[in-house]
Amino acid sequence: MSDSGKITLALAGNPNAGKTTMFNALTGARQHVGNYPGITVERKEGFATLATGGEKREFHITDLPGAYSLTAYTQEELVARNHLVDERPDAVIHVLNAGSLERNLYLTVQFLELGVPVALGLNMMDEARKKGLTIDSDKLGELMSAPVVETVARAGKGVKDLLAAAGDLAETRKDHTWSPLEISYGPDLDPAITEMTEKIEAAGFLTDRYPSRWLAVKYMEGDEQILTLGRNADIDLAQELEAVTARVSEHCQSTMNTYPEAVIADFRYGFIASLLKQGIVRREPLRERIEMSDRLDKVLTHRALGPALMLGVLLLVYQITFSLGQHPMDWLGLFFGWLGETAESLIPEGLVQSLVVSGIIDGVGGVLSFVPLILIIFFLIAFLEDSGYMARIAYMMDRVFRMFGLHGSSVMPFIVSGGVGGGCAVPGVMASRTLRSRKEKLATLLTAPFMACGAKLPVFILLAGVFFPHHEALALFLITLSAWAFALFAARILRSTLIRGPSTPFVMELPPYRMPTLRGLIIHTWERTWQYIKKAGTVILAISILLWAAMTFPPPHEADLAPLNEAVAEAQAHVDGFPEDTDQATLAQAEDDLAMAEAALAEAGLANSLAGRLGRALEPVSQSAGFEWRTNIALIGGVAAKEVIISTLGTAYSLGDVDPEEAFSLAGHIRSDPTWTTPRGIALILFILLYSPCFVTVVAIRQEAGSWKWALFSIVFNTALAFGVAVAVYQGGAMLL
Ligand code: GDP
Ligand code: MG
């Protein structure tokens, strides 16, 4: 400790290890700059204070010039060495570049050989981590017998800890004895070094300043400064020592064709290598992985082969999602069907029953039925992302999508939403999470719902069967194609108006491929899915109840219902009244009558409900697209879920419950109705393709876009676009026909 009671520290390290940055972080403004006397090397000094456990420590810190070693080859190295020897700081803070530890430790070893107390600051840990290095600093400290602290000097991280460690070290070495490390330099040098050390010690040769063995090694290295100092101190001993080194040098040259200096350097590096071999630095074999990646990319991003393989991967993702998801979705469907029936049998018929079954159970079932899809899609996306392939997809698709103001990564949301027909926009919208740029993400998630999702398909199949008999497949293909056209077109419009802004430059570097870990995949998947269940669940249940209410309230007037109820009761009595042996035809006729009476009752309820009234109120407007009020009601119901369109249309046409899978009666009805012209059919198909996303998707949009504003926008924008297209088709068709 210096006289002033301050702990004196020297900052040392290779050039560019971050010493000066560290020095500034430690001392702040409390520093001054001068020169070492007679030379141009800068001398920086500063002060620092550290309060630890009520005790205040003062430090005087000197920033030494950068040095790779402590030989006397350069002026900087000599200045650093002289500072240590002449001023004997209480401790040295050795700043190392953690990213090239092996080379940096060469200087450390020399500090240890000199015996000066040294605290190691493993600096630039941020970059080391980026390079994929992990360093066991505790173990390094153990092996080096020196405190080790990981730092990021530029961010001031770990700087205080390093100072505290140096302070502790200085206190334990208060007696100022240095304890030099003794490295073996092999059978050729070791005996000679020992011989010289003994001579040096016996004569007390320069030992007031330098450790004896260190001096012997310096003689071996032919260190100019020490040789001169030696000759001036004791010319006889100096010559003796020089004779020993000459002998060893000759021996080295004749046997190994090398010099003692080189042998010494080799053994120092050997010492470092043996330390590092004990698992201090673990590095991901980055170079190997990059080479491997490059080889893979020759195929995977090949001009022709790449896109073909990518299409295969996307189709596979799609297939896995929906075929694997189908089973749990079916089970959930069965379960909620059973739950609904149970509730029906337990709760007396009426509003409460209707609320529980159609409002709550259907709502919760609606939320949960998407969970398997979301789980699977997120698992697969996590796999593609973690493995590095997602970046390749984006890279390959970017040139196409960029034209529409989108990003290469937009392809996944589009495909999942139904870009190949039969997807689902809920996981599709969520898949837009892979997009980093907010504007491109918005444009993607707003247009992905245009795709022909699985819930729209049955409606398309029904209508295609009616209007394009024998050409259903072609019709469905064209529908899917127009979905893409409209999505890209709408994206282009949005990106030139509301969400205008430059495309993110495609600077995405292609990260090397890696095998994802199962643990990572599961965590990613579960986090995202749980978020959906938690956030969407509550909102979706509430909206589901609202939609139920809109299709139930207000109930029809008693007076209007009475005859319908009577008709149902009469038909029921008629069916019940037949004796056991009544022939099948008569019985079937009576049952049909009953079904028709019940359908009329249901129609009356729907027609009078808020949704029904809205459907009627909208008729004057919707007429221009060819939709009368019954279609309107079905479309309103379709906002709950697109698969509801067929069943609602069935109810509105008082056809009773129409199962979407066997909607023959509805198809027959439409076919035989002359007002259902082909333009009206096409207008309806395109309207259903494009109009407001179902509300589960709307909630997903709200979640991904981060605000209800965009969720509401998607309802309004999509519906307006859909209506515009439907009107154009219907009116255009009417003019042509
Ligand atoms: P010196 O030659 O040892 O004095 O090194 P400097 O303090 O001048 O630092 C060299 C360069 O490394 C500068 O550009 C610093 O900003 C940068 N640097 C210093 N410490 C860190 C660190 O912990 N992380 C990173 N990333 N850069 C650092
Ligand atoms: Mg510097």
In the numeric block, which tokens belong to residue 218?
């310096």
Please, are residues 427 and 375 in contact by the beta-carbon 8 Å criterion?
no
For ligand 1, whether the C-beta of 14 sits within 6 Å is no
**What is the 35 CA–ligand 1 centroid distance (Å)?**
22
Q: Which of 21, 44, 100 to mutate to test the pocket of ligand 1 (most atoms within 8 A of CB)?
A: 21
Which one, of 84, 150, 139, lies nearest residue 113 by Cα?
A: 84
- Please tell me which residue, 162 or 522, carries the higher pLDDT value: 162
Overall pTM surpassing 0.75 (yes/no):
no
pLDDT in the model for residue 1:
46
pLDDT at res. 2: 46
Closest-CA residue, ligand 1 atom 19, reads 18
Give the three-state DSSP class for 42. Answer: strand
Q: What is the pLDDT of residues 98-139, one digit of tens each?
A: 988 988 999 999 999 999 999 999 999 998 888 778 899 999
Whole-number pLDDT of residue 351: 79
Span from the CA of 90 to the centroid of ligand 2 (angstroms): 21
- Residue 656 Cβ contacting ligand 1 at under 6 Å: no
Beta strands in 116-223 (DSSP E): 118-123, 133-135, 148-150
The phi, psi pair for 210, rounded to 5°, reads -120, 150
- 566, pLDDT greater than 60: yes
Q: For 18-89, where are the E strands, in sequence order?
A: 31-35, 42-52, 55-63
- Give the per-residue pLDDT at 350: 77
Query: Any alpha helices (H) in 350-388, and if so which ranges?
Result: 351-354, 362-369, 371-387
Ligand 1 atom closest to residue 157's alpha carbon, by position in its atom list: 23
Whether the predicted pLDDT of 634 surpasses 60: yes
Confidence of residue 687 (pLDDT cuts 50, 70, 90): very high
Distance 18 CA to ligand 1 centre (A): 4
Q: What average pLDDT score do residues 617-639 get?
A: 90
Least confident of 159-163, 386-390, 695-699: 386-390
Ligand 2 center to residue 264 CA distance, Å?
28
Q: Which two tokens stand for residue 89?
A: 């700081």
Integer Cα distance of 577 and 513 in angstroms: 74
Higher pLDDT, 660 or 369: 369
Determine if ligand 1 sits within 6 Å of the CB of residue 42. no
Q: What is the Cα–Cα distance from 659 to 669, expressed in whole angstroms?
A: 14
pLDDT tens-digit series, residues 259-284: 899 899 989 998 888 888 888 887 76
Q: Is the Cβ–Cβ distance between 644 and 585 less than 8 Å?
A: no
Measured from the alpha carbon of residue 125, the closest ligand is: 1
Residue 286 confidence (pLDDT): 63
Taking the C-alpha atoms of residue 234 and residue 220, their distance in angstroms, rounded to an integer, is 18
Alpha helix (H) residue ranges in 537-609: 537-550, 558-577, 584-608
pLDDT tens for 414-445 read 988 888 766 789 889 988 987 878 889 999 99
Per-residue pLDDT band for 175 (boundaries 50, 70, 90) equals: low
